[in-house]
Structure 1
């Protein structure tokens, strides 16, 4: 009986202390608890595909490809794609020598004249005579009278060397001014004169007047001591009267 009471007496303080400690422990602050985090992604796993990126990229690429294909088809109908076997480049023709029927060189083609309305080639300009381009004259041979062979590497004419030297020189015209550079015929009045270009003579600069004569530069007065002495020695002394 005594042991039972002694055991009960020792157990009560321990039980009471544990209960007191449990009651006095601070409650956990919900604000301090970390938010629920998503589970850690596996580094080795492939990233998830964004469904919005797939739905927006593919239609844009399809629209771009369709626009490029339409532009290419439209351009193919408006441009020339390949040079034909019977077509020549102008730089093949310019610089090529033109020969006479007997094989003499008349001159080299320096320019071409074409019809601005029909686009037809009208004439070839050839430099005749001179030496190294100095003193030569320019004559025009009708394009229809020229025979072009071997992709414009050989050009012949029915004009002889003598006829080429005696032919009149071709007269070029001046190129017309662009529409924006032409004067308006309604504006027939002459442009206002530049006030700085008026014909009135500018006022004389008072600072540019001739300086007054230097008083030190005037001729000195005649020195009275420098006057010529009377020539008494040369004058005859009258003889005294008897």
Structure 2
């Protein structure tokens, strides 16, 4: 009996400890679960970036070298800008102001300057006439700040006006006047002239009163003959 009690006394704490340990087991912590990481993507390395920059620099250098052979780099001392010439006054040999240069005529085949267009006369640009002086006859100095001609003021006033030509339109210009080309004329609009409205003329009203026009009253016309004559008695 003592052995049984001793065995029970020893086993009871062990059983209670196991149960207590089972009940107090920590719950699963989601934060402790293993996290799946995305696969690492390949990133540009410093060597690859350096190679790309070297390639871009080589391309830019090649383009710059090629462009330098096709363009003018610097204005020479004997060259003038166009806006230095236009607007400059042309003086006669005696120092009289003939007029100012408004335009230049250039040879399309040789590229040479042919003439300078000068506005002569008028007041504040109104009533001017345009004359052309040969470029070879003009003396230009001091970077086009002074331009002289052998034409006097009286000769400039009496000179004929220069005749300009119209610029040719490019081939296939869609802005040309369609009236000049029948093929470019717009097609007639079929809806421009509206057909006659079939409902414009109202048909006879089927609900019109057929008695609206009364026929001659046969009952109002007295029959011929004397209606008061009594028939002869039968024999």
TM-score (normalised: structure 1):
0.61
Distance 1:51 1:173, change over 3 A: closer
Give the Cα separation in 2 of the matches to 1:52 and 1:9.
78
Alignment match of 1:115 (pick from 92, 107, 117): 107
Closer, same or farther in 2 for the Cα pair 1:148/1:29, shift >3 Å?
Answer: same
Cα 1:32–1:15 change in 2 (3 A) is farther
1:24-63 equivalences in 2 (<5 Å): 25-26=21-22, 34-35=32-33, 52-63=44-55
Q: Does 1:179 align with 2:138?
A: no
Aligned with 1:16 (options 11, 14, 22): 11
1:195 matched to which residue of 2? 188
1:137 Cα offset (Å): 1.3
- Call closer, same or farther: CA 1:189–1:73 in 2, change over 3 Å: closer
Q: Deviations over 1:122-163 (max 9, x none)?
A: 100011122222222111111111111111010011111122
24-33 or 97-106, larger mean C-alpha shift: 24-33
SS in 2 for 1:195: coil
Q: Indicate which of 97, 118, 121 corresponds to 1:105.
A: 97
**Match for residue 85 of structure 1 among 77, 90, 99:** 77
**Equivalent residue number for residue 211 of structure 1:** none
Offset, 1:56: 3.6
Q: Number of paired residues? A: 181
Taking only aligned residues, the RMSD between alpha carbons, in angstroms, comes to 3.9
- State the SS of the aligned residue for 2:10: helix
Please point out which of 103, 109, 133 is paired with 2:125: 133
Normalising by structure 2, report the TM-score.
Answer: 0.62
Which structure 2 residue ranges, 5 or more long, are not aligned? 36-41, 201-235
Unaligned runs of 5+ in 1: 38-49, 208-242
